[in-house]
Structure 1
Amino acid sequence: MNYSYRALRLHYWLAIWAIISALELIAADPVSDSQAVIAFKKHLATPPCYSKILFSEADCSNNVTRSYYVAICGDNYVYRTLYGGENINLPVSVTNRNRSSVYVGRWGDMHWAIAGYDLTIAVNPLPAQPPPDGSSHVFVNELLTFGFQHVQAGTFVWNGRYFEAKPSVFARELGQTENFSGEIIVEDGVVKRMIVNTAGVSEFQYDTSGTNIHCGLPSIISRLTPDGRCASRWIIHDMIRAGPSDTATLFDPKQRIQSEIAVIRVISNGVERIATAQSPQLRNNLLREQLGDFVPLTQRELDRRSFVRSTFVVLVVLLIGLGIWRTRKNLTR
């Protein structure tokens, strides 16, 4: 009887040991990630370097509201809104006019912005003077982290489906010092959702029709509300990695606008210098041409409205006069 009890206890502990060993083996040898998941993780763990990202803001029915162009490599970047007709591969010129309400960037210690045919460059801008590119880097980082402003692109450290990421510049300005943690949800070999604790949830869709988006990176990014509904959406059209020789061409602001028409304003250590266009006459002709295209149309519209108002007033006066005449005629009968 005593022997049977001891044997039973031995079998019991052997069973527990076998279960623990099996669990340890499972933990030590997790299911391998698919190539798509590996690419997704690598994108978030590696400092971004892309020569062209074209994407659009859209509602949750994929109705596009605005489109953008981004190029980035490390701290250098370009961010531009697009309205149609711009050639992003050529500098702003007489034939390639700048229609962007936001056209900004950074190259090394230079922060810059192009407005119309004027280029403003701030070298090491003072804290009291906001840089020309403003807070556009926040928007660019949010795109690269697939919908999260608070985590820094390129800083993700992975442990299976879990990760930690450093706080972004935006988050640090809000006082965040600790890393963020989160996880990804994988379905059918691709990342379906990403959760950043205390920062939100993004859901992903993938285009397999042969676009320029690399395998494993989403083509549609949906930001979700706390109850799981779509709040807003980005649609990515192109996402092309940059080569080692692209830096100056992509990020040097003087490569982004023709010197013949540009007035360049440089602010360095609070001191401002202005360089006039190399061809002031060409610039003046261009501005005059734009003004000529605009003013006559506006003047014609004003003349038309003035004519309509005048005609209306005359008709009202005639009707009032006719009414008075009829009243007097009836009284004299």
Structure 2
Amino acid sequence: MGALMVGVAWAPAGAGEPEEYLRGYVNSLLDSRYPGLGLRSQVVSVDGTVKLTSSTCLGSSQKRDVAYLLTKTGRVKTIQWGASTDCDKSGETAEQDRARAEREAATPVDLYALPEQELFAPLLADPRHPRFSVSYLHYRSPAAEFSAASVAFGEYFGLASGFFGGSGNSQIGIQGGVFALFNLDAPSIDLINADYSIGLPISYRRGPWSYLLRVYHQSSHLGDELILGNPGINRVNLSYEDMEFLVSHEWERWRLYGGGGYLLNSEPDLAPKHLQGGVEYVRPRAAGRLSFIAAVDVQASEELDWRRSRSYQAGFELRSGSARRARLMFEYFRGHSPDGQFYRESLRYTGLGLYFGF
């Protein structure tokens, strides 16, 4: 399908009107990449100007992604946004508000399987958000100081989306990850700890607001080399099921999120409540094709007397016309270790990480 779309993008216009050709191409591309948003090209001109409408309002990050997708084709130069894409309806009259509500109510539920786009955007600075990444870090804890490699393999996979018609979009998926920590100063580059997680996230989005409800399991395991080299080590069989709820709001280049969770079950028995919040900043194409990104994530738990753990990241992202992207980020962390069985241990680390999105 991707090859076909590329072929269409660079094919010469047919015998029909150029405006109609461009309109059909844009609509088919939007249907393929953003089903459920009801995006349509309302006005198309031969100079490459496209005006878009939608069945539900769009957030700033959604508009950036749509604009990036269309302008990368080379055929679309300028994008204008119709009133239907604007989430601020404060200027509407009572009659306009009533008409809009009727249109949203009349919009049919459009269920579709295996959506590509994730409604609740990944938390960039969260050390345990499922992702594909590799980082070189300098670890400093009360017990040791060493060079470390942190490797993660994880992803979100959408199962079904589109339950609310014009009143917003919802999605259910599956999310899992493996997070491994290696001691690079050890002769055999010892595996220190590995955390495994699997969860079922349910998300909802309407314009700049997005919501996530997630139930997931995580378990933690010490590395064989660490156990063999430290026969008296106090192993903790850390395992738990957690339910968390997060709310995210975007405006312009900023994103703010917050929420918390409650442990449904844990071994050992842990105090159940925890909180999380953060802020992210994106400046598209700050240096040529590179976008500048900065993010902060803060977490605290009842088990650790609400002492804060803070994760900071800043760097650049390179992306293609598709969903593929790569980030090179400077990282700094201070707080309690996110590495499973060492959750009570104070930790600081700095380093560089390479992150991949698909």
TM-score between the two structures when normalised by the length of structure 2: 0.29
Q: As a proportion of its length, which structure holds more strand?
A: 2
Q: Which TM-score applies when normalising by structure 1?
A: 0.31
Between structures 1 and 2, the one with greater helix share: 1
* The structure with more radius of gyration: 1
Answer 1 or 2: higher relative contact order, Cα 8 Å, separation at least 6: 1
